[in-house]
Amino acid sequence: MTIFANAVPDRHSLLSLRRLYWLRWVLLACESLLLVGADTVIGLLLPHGPLLSIFGLQAVFNLLTAWRLRQHVRARSTPGEAELMGQLLVDLTALSAILFFTGGATNPFVSFYLPGLALAAALLPAGQVAAMAVYALACYTLMLFEYVPLELRDPANAIHYHLAGMWLNFVASAVMIALFAARLSGTLRQRDAELHRAREQLLREARADALDAQAATVAHEIGTPLGTLAVIAGELRADAAHRTRGDTAVRHYMADLDAIEQQLALCRSILARLRDNPTGTSAKPVSRWLVAFLESWHLRHPDGRLQTSIADEAAALPVEPARTGQMLTILLDNAVRSQQAAGRAELPLDLKISVERRDGRMDLIFRVADRGTGIPLSLRATLGEAPVASLHGGQGIGAYLAQSAARQAGGCVIWRDRDNGGTTAELRLPINVEIAERAAA
C-alpha cells in the first residue's frame, strides 16, 4: 500500500509545477500590460528600468522551469517539496522586488502575498509553509520603512487610485485562489480515486493469491485420490480383458471406463501444468494455440459443441498459452453450465476471436456467446469482482479468477446480455502494436 500511496502524490507534484509555470506566464503578461498602460490610463509613473529587469529575470527563470519540466518528463521523475518551495520563494522574491519599486507597503497590491502563501499551503508541508510565511512577513515589514514611492501625475486623485487598486487586487487574488483551489480540489479527488483503485487492486490480488495458495494445497491433496482412481480403473480394465473374468459386467461399461480414464488423464495434465509454473510458457500464434486448446477443452466436455471463428488479423497474434487458456476455459465452462441449466445443452457455443483498435490501443478479443439462463440482476454488480454463488451450482470463483488474471494482464472481462436470451462474455487482452505489426508482416 505504501508504494501506491507515495507514487500518486509524486505524480501530482509534477502537475503542480506545470501549473506554477503557466501561472507565472499569465502573471508576467498582466504585469507587462500594467507597466505599459499605467501612465496613459491612470497617470502612474513607474520606474521602467528596474521593473523590466525584474520581468526579464522572471521570464528567464520560467524558461529554466520549462527546461526542468522536460527533464522530469524524460527521466520520468517528479519534483520534490524543496524544488516546489524554491519555485514559490522565487515568486515571492520577485513580488517583493516589484512592490519595492512601486510604493512598498503603500501599494494596494501588497496583499498579493496572500495568494502566494495560499498556493504554498496547498503544495507544501506545514514547516515549509511556516518558513515562507515568515519570509513574506519579513519582506512586508521591511517595505514599511524602505521603498521607492509611487509618482502620480495628479496627486489629488491618490485616494481614488488606491481604492481602485485595492478593488483590482481583490479581484485578481480571488480569481487566482478560486482557480487554483478548484484545480487542487480536482487533483485531490483524482488522487483519492486512484488510491481507492489501487487499494481495490491490492485486495483483489491478495484474494487471488489466497485462492492460488488454496489451489496449490488442493492440487497436492488431490494427487492421492486421483492415483487411487487410476489404479481402480486399470484393475477394472484388466478384469474385463481377463480370460476367465472377461464375462463380468464390467465389459458392458467399457465406453464409460474409457471416459473415466480420459478425465483422469485430463486431471493429471492440469495438475502437471500447475506444478510446472505456466507463467514462463512462451507465446504462440492464436491459430496454432487454438487447435491444442480446443482438443483439451473437448476432453473436459465430450458432448459440448463449439463453433469458432478467427479474424485474419487475429490469427497470427501471439498469446500466452497457459494464462489465456485458463481464462477462456473458465468462460466456456460457465457458458456450458448455463446452457445445461436452461435445458439447451444441445445448442453450440459461439467463440469469435477478433481484434479491435481504439485510441492507439490494440486489443485481442475473445467473445463467448451462449443461450443459457443469462445473468441475474442480483449478480451483475459483483460478477467477477468477488466469488458469488450462481444459479447453476457454481460459486463464482472462476469468473473472479478470470477477471483478476485479465486485469493483471492489462485487460478485462465484460459480461453482456444476449438478444433472445443468453450471455456474451468478452475477454479483452491488450496486444503490443509493434509486436502485432511484426506478426502481420
Half-sphere exposure of 287 (CA within 13 A, CB side): 10
Q: How far apart are CA 127 and CA 141, in angstroms?
A: 21
Residue 171 lies in a domain: no
Domain holding 100, by residue range, is 11-153
Is the per-residue pLDDT at 8 higher than 50? no
Q: Is the pLDDT of residue 23 over 70?
A: yes
pLDDT at 339 over 90: no
Question: Is the residue at 421 inside a domain?
Answer: yes
Give percent of the chain above pLDDT 90.
15
Let me know whether 143 and 290 are in one domain. Answer: no
Q: What are phi and psi of 374, to 5 degrees?
A: 80, -175
Residue at 169 is within a domain: no
CA gap 23, 173 in Å, rounded: 13
pLDDT tops 50 at residue 4:
no
> Residue 370: which of 432, 434, 419 has the closest Cα?
419
Write the secondary structure of the chain as one string of H (helix), E (strand) and C (coil). Answer: CHHHHHHHHHHHHHHHHHHHHHHHHHHHHHHHHHHHHHHHHHCEECCHHHHHHHHHHHHHHHHHHHHHHHHHHHHCCCCCHHHHHHHHHHHHHHHHHHHHCCCHHHCHHHHHHHHHHHHHHHHCCHHHHHHHHHHHHHHHHHCCCCCCCCEECCHHHHHHHHHHHHHHHHHHHHHHHHHHHHHHHHHHHHHHHHHHHHHHHHHHHHHHHHHHHHHHHHHHHHHHHHHHHHHHHHHHHHHHHCCCCCCCHHHHHHHHHHHHHHHHHHHHHHHHHHHCCHHHCCCEEHHHHHHHHHHHHHHHCCCCCEEEEECHHHHCCEECHHHHHHHHHHHHHHHHHHHHHCCCCCCCEEEEEEEEEECCEEEEEEEEECCCCCCCHHHHCCCCCCCCCCCCCCCCHHHHHHHHHHHHCCCEEEEEECCCCCEEEEEEEECCHHHHHHHHC
Check residues 292 and 434 and name the one with the higher pLDDT.
Answer: 292
pLDDT of amino acid 3:
29
- Residues 288-315 have a mean pLDDT of 85
pLDDT tens digit sequence for 68-92 = 999 988 888 888 888 999 999 999 9
Contact (Cβ atoms closer than 8 angstroms) between residue 105 and residue 143:
yes
Within a domain: 138: yes
Count of domains forming the chain? 2
Calculate mean pLDDT across residues 157-170: 72
Q: Please name the residues in contact with 107: beta carbons below 8 A apart, sequence gap of 6 or more.
A: 99, 150, 165
Domain stops at, among 153, 171, 187: 153
Residue 134, C-alpha cell as written in the block: 515568515
195 domain residue, yes or no:
no
CATH (domain of 421): 3.30.565.10
The pLDDT tens digits of the residues spanning 205-220 come to: 666 666 566 666 666 5
What per-residue confidence (pLDDT) applies to 207?
64
Which of 115, 138, 153 is a domain's end point? 153
Residue with cell 502612474: 44
Segment 359-364 mean pLDDT: 83
| 166 within some domain | no
**pLDDT band for position 63 (cuts 50, 70, 90):** very high
**The pLDDT of residue 344:** 84
Q: How confident is the model at residue 9 (pLDDT cuts 50, 70, 90)?
A: very low
**Is residue 260 assigned to a domain?**
no
Using 50, 70 and 90 to split pLDDT, how confident is the model at 137?
Answer: very high
- Residue 432 and residue 287 in one domain: yes
pLDDT at 59 over 90: yes
Query: Averaged over 127-146, what is the pLDDT?
Result: 92
Mean pLDDT (the chain, rounded): 78
| 249 has a pLDDT exceeding 70 | no
Report the pLDDT value the prediction gives residue 209, as an integer from 0 to 100.
64
Write down which residue in 85, 120, 153 finishes a domain.
153
Same domain, 144 and 291: no
pLDDT in the model for residue 178:
76
Please check whether residue 209 lies inside any domain of the structure.
no
